[in-house]
Amino acid sequence: MCGIVGYIGKEEALPVLMEGVKNLEYRGYDSAGFAILGDDGVKSEKSVGKISALAEKISGKRFSGKTGIIHSRWATHGGVTEKNAHPHSDCGGTIWLAHNGIVENYKELKKELSEKGHSFKSETDTEVIAHLIEEEMEGKSFENAVSSALKKIKGTYGLVVLKSDEPGTLIAARNFSPLLIGLGEGEYIVASDATAVLKHTKNVVYLDDGEMAVLTKSGHKVLDLEMNQLEKEHHVIDWSPELAKKNGYPHFMLKEIFEGPEAVENSTRGRLIPEEGMSKLGGLESLTELKEAKGILISACGTAYYAGRVGEYMLEEYAGIPVETDVASEFRYRKPVFRDGDIFLAVSQSGETADTLAALREAKEKGVPVVSIVNVVGSTIARYTDAGVYQHIGPEIGVASTKAFISQVSIFALLTILVGRHREMSLVTGRRIAEELEKIPDLIRLILKQSKNIEALARKYQKFVNFLYLGRKYNLPVAYEGALKLKEISYVHAEGCGAGEMKHGPIAMIDENFPSIFIAPQDSVYEKMVSNMEEVKARRGPIIAVATEGDKKIKEIADDVIYIPKTLEMLTPILSVVPLQLFAYHFGVARGLDVDQPRNLAKSVTVE
């Protein structure tokens, strides 16, 4: 969940490292530190807080060297202190490394190493690796010592290592934690995310589990832990550096909300055939099992999970196929029952979500065909699945996912058309869904024009600390997603709830200090939602409603209304979520919070 960058090449390392880790700050920002190897040995500096705190601390100091590593931390083992910040070193300050992941057997290793005379400076599990490599160095080369040390580790790691007396070498290794190598002109950049290398190169090698890269100024090689050299495919990143910039917006989150229309366009471009009432998903064409599937098991985490819940409604209603949607973090622990004809579908913006990847591996081990919806080309999930669909929405930097949700739901609509038309979906129905989906980007643009009004609404409610989000059917997952956004961004208590379940407990919380947000478009459950609103109103609870344009009835009940254009019921979540994203954004800003980097959160959860 942390940000790693390593550099070896012809340039001064520190500027490259600082720029790279700044681009990865959304992955972790409790503390940061670097180690630069120059002619006078290794110089290191660390700081608690964001990258800006580290930059301020080293202002005016010189750290010269063309090999170095840097890390932004999201704490797992050990508190947020300078001594726990990475990089960590061995006893003699010879081995330096930055690490993402968790060493599950670090206590046993630490005890063993301490008994051999090693002295530890931090509370982290990571420091154990540095001392372990030091212990293995006797009679071995640098790369052999790293390999031997890694064989003794149980757990996950993405790490980059330098050795003070070998300035021409940098070693990177991966096991269940993402890591890539950027291939530049006379230089290499190791990173935990592609955004750190974009300015320097688009050519990358993705390391797989159990692999180690040895980088020198003259070349590179990839080995397994038995020191066998491997042939690795080179990939080209299709993002431009400009996509990872704010482009005049005050926050990445607002920029990415406003990129919603383009997200739908990019996710559906070339994939819709309206005149045939059909969709074309090239990544899935090779998987014949999908057309004949008897059931689909969707697994995801967080926002992607709620997108999967919307997809479940779509596929069952329009494609007539049984669907189960699971939180990936629980999927493999409940001993799922796979049946002949099942398809496993993983959803992850980053393609690196640890729990989703673990669930995918569980399905793959059981022989179930696995497919994915991911955004990052070359990501682990994308490479491990039998077939998949890329979102093509560019990097999503804001920790709170916005455009990715809209894209994922749009792709579920495409998948519904594809599977449905191979079953009993009529040409007329297929055409109608495709034609309405084509209109969605312009409808989102209409909603975005209400941003200022939604900002005023957020300010009106900014002092409330409890919210209940309610929805039914297609908009039940949107209620959960809306509540999640508010929690992430503003740290207030917000709950998603099925409106039909309100009377079974949550209504007890309603009073004049507990606002409810109803997602109530004019759909098949509209009258039920209106009844639920009346129940809240009778208990003096403030009501905000997301409703269909022209609905005057809602105005008579709700205290405030945000209108969305009319569309097909199955597509309403793509529209109804946008006001909730804007409300959460403006609410967090009004409370003076950093909405791009909310406390305790990281963008990509790459540890369990």
Structure tokens at 350: 């980053």
Token output for 283:
């990544």
With bands split at pLDDT 50, 70 and 90, how would you rate the model's confidence at 305? very high
Residue after which a domain boundary falls, among 389, 413, 448: 448
Q: Is 372 helix (H, G, I), strand (E, B) or coil?
A: strand
- C-alpha to C-alpha distance for 581 and 253, rounded to whole angstroms: 9
Q: Is the peptide bond before 87 cis (omega within 30 degrees of 0)?
A: yes
Q: Give the contacts of 38 (CB within 8 A, at least 6 positions apart).
A: 63, 64, 65, 66, 167
Please report the pLDDT score of residue 243 as a whole number: 65
pLDDT surpasses 90 at 478: yes
Provide the pLDDT for residue 26: 65
Which residues are CB-contacts of 456 (< 8 A; sequence separation ≥ 6)? none
pLDDT higher than 80, residue 190: yes
Residue 51: per-residue pLDDT: 87
The reply to whether 510 and 429 lie within a common domain is no
Confidence (pLDDT) at 604 = 57
Q: Is residue 603 part of a domain?
A: no
Q: Mention every residue, 6+ apart, whose C-beta is less than 8 A from residue 323.
A: 295, 296, 297, 298, 311, 312, 315, 316
Unique residue bearing structure tokens 């071995």:
140
Indicate whether 539 pLDDT > 80: yes
1 has a pLDDT exceeding 60:
no
25: pLDDT confidence band, cut at 50, 70 and 90? confident
Do residues 212 and 290 share a domain?
A: no
Please choose, from the candidates 241, 126, 129, 155, the residue with its C-alpha nearest in 3D space to the C-alpha of residue 194. 241
**pLDDT mean across residues, the chain:** 91
Residue 506 has what pLDDT?
86
261 in the same domain as 226: no
The percent of residues above 90 in pLDDT, for the chain, comes to 71
The more confidently predicted of residues 341 and 244 is 341
Distance between CA atoms of residues 371 and 550, nearest Å: 41
- Please tell me whether residues 435 and 473 are part of one structural domain: no
pLDDT value for 608: 54
Helix ranges (H only) for 43-172 are 51-58, 106-115, 127-136, 142-151
Q: Could you tell me the CATH number of the domain that includes residue 90? A: 3.60.20.10
For position 325, what pLDDT does the model report? Answer: 95
At 126, list the tokens: 């990571």
189, pLDDT greater than 90: yes
pLDDT at 167 over 80: yes
> Tokens 């409940």, residue?
334
CA separation for the pair 215, 186 (Å, rounded): 11
Domain count, the chain: 3
Q: Please report, for the chain, how many H helices and E strands are present, in that order.
A: 19, 27
d(C-alpha 352, C-alpha 372), whole Å: 12
The predicted pLDDT at position 140 comes to: 92
Report yes or no on 607 lying in a domain.
Answer: no
Which of 448, 463, 483 corresponds to the end of one domain? 448
Q: Identify whether residues 211 and 342 lie together within a single domain.
A: no
SS3 content of the chain, % helix, strand, coil (to 5): 40, 25, 35
**Distance from C-alpha of 326 to C-alpha of 196, rounded to nearest angstrom:** 32
Could you tell me which residues come within 8 angstroms of residue 583 by beta carbon, excluding any fewer than 6 positions away?
454, 457, 458, 482, 486, 517, 544, 562
* More confident site: 165 or 237: 165
Measured distance CA(66)–CA(37) in Å, rounded: 7
- Helix H or strand E segment including 365: helix 354-365
Check residue 240 and give its pLDDT. Answer: 67
Residue 171 within any structural domain of the chain: yes
Q: Which domain holds residue 423?
A: 249-448
Query: Which residues are identified as catalytic?
Result: 2, 603
pLDDT tens digits, one per residue of 373-422 = 999 888 889 888 988 999 999 888 888 999 999 999 999 999 999 999 98
| Alpha helix segments (H runs only) across 181-271 | 252-258, 260-268
Which of 111, 110, 116, 164 lies closest to 142, judged by CA? 164
Both 430 and 519 in a single domain? Answer: no
Helix (H, G, I), strand (E, B) or coil at 207: coil
Question: Which amino acid, residue 425?
Answer: M
Tokens 């589990």 correspond to what residue? 209
Is residue 242 assigned to a domain?
A: no
Nearest 5 degrees, angle CA 348-CA 350-CA 351?
60
Q: Which amino acid is at 130?
A: A
pLDDT category of residue 445 using cuts at 50, 70 and 90: very high
**584 plus 502 within the same structural domain:** yes
Residue 289 confidence class, pLDDT cut points 50, 70, 90 = confident
Residue 542 lies in a domain: yes
**Final residue before a domain boundary, out of 182, 203, 237:** 237
Q: Return the DSSP state at 505.
A: T
Cα separation, 158 vs 178, whole angstroms: 6
CA-derived radius of gyration, the chain: 25
List, for residues 62-72, the tens digit of each pLDDT value.
899 999 999 98
SS3 category, 329: helix
271 and 418 in contact (C-beta within 8 Å)?
no
Q: Is the pLDDT of residue 451 over 70?
A: yes
Same domain, yes or no, for 224 and 354? no
- Tens-place pLDDT, residues 511-537: 999 999 999 999 999 999 999 999 999
- 427 and 461 housed in the same domain: no
Q: What is the pLDDT of residues 93-117, one digit of tens each?
A: 999 999 988 899 999 999 999 999 9
Query: Quick one: 26 and 164 in the same domain?
Result: yes
Instruction: Kindly report the CATH number assigned to the domain that includes residue 459.
Output: 3.40.50.10490
DSSP state of 424: T
Same domain, yes or no, for 535 and 437?
A: no
- Residue 37 three-state SS: strand
Answer yes or no: do 405 and 271 share one domain: yes
In a domain, 605, yes or no: no
Judge whether 606 lies within some domain: no
Q: What is the pLDDT of residues 191-246, one digit of tens each?
A: 988 888 888 898 999 999 999 999 998 899 999 999 999 999 888 887 666 666 78
Distance of CA 475 to the CA centre of its chain: 22
The answer to the question of residue 244 being in a domain is no
pLDDT at 159 over 90: yes
- H helix runs in 368-500, sequence order: 380-384, 403-421, 427-448, 451-461, 476-490
